[in-house]
Amino acid sequence: MAKAKVRIVFCEGCKWALRSGWYAQELFSTFQGKLSAIELVVGESGQFQVWANDQCLWDRKENHGFPEVAELKRLLRDTIAPDASLGHCELDAEAD
């Protein structure tokens, strides 16, 4: 199976580069061997989106804010590796 490419589109003027980098680090560490790249892209004013291949996983405007990292990991897992375990991220969700 081909490795997934993640693209994080963020508003530079809103100072969301650091947040985007943090999400990228978290996704790389969780999905070792399953991602070919994580691309950080400067977008339009107020824009924050996370894409896996050509599927939008998160849009700040539509989803009303930013995802918790565990939620973003679950969305990505469900898209690229539905049978993979997320370890403690899944345990955190069960406790809610």
* Mean pLDDT along residues 8-23: 98
Q: What is the mean pLDDT of residues 88-92?
A: 52
Count of domains for the chain:
1
CA gap 87, 48 in Å, rounded: 27
The C-alpha atoms of residue 44 and residue 89 are separated, in whole angstroms, by 31
**Residue keyed to tokens 């989803």:** 63
Instruction: Select the more confidently predicted residue: 86 or 5.
Output: 5
Structure tokens at 55: 């599927």
> At residue 96, does pLDDT exceed 80?
no
CATH number for 8: 3.40.30.10
Lookup result for tokens 């809610």: 96
* Residue-wise pLDDT tens digits, 33-82: 999 999 999 999 999 999 999 999 999 999 999 999 999 999 999 999 88
Phi, psi of 41 (to 5 degrees): -125, 130
Give the C-alpha separation, 9 to 59, whole Å: 9
Structural domain boundaries enclosing 67: 4-95
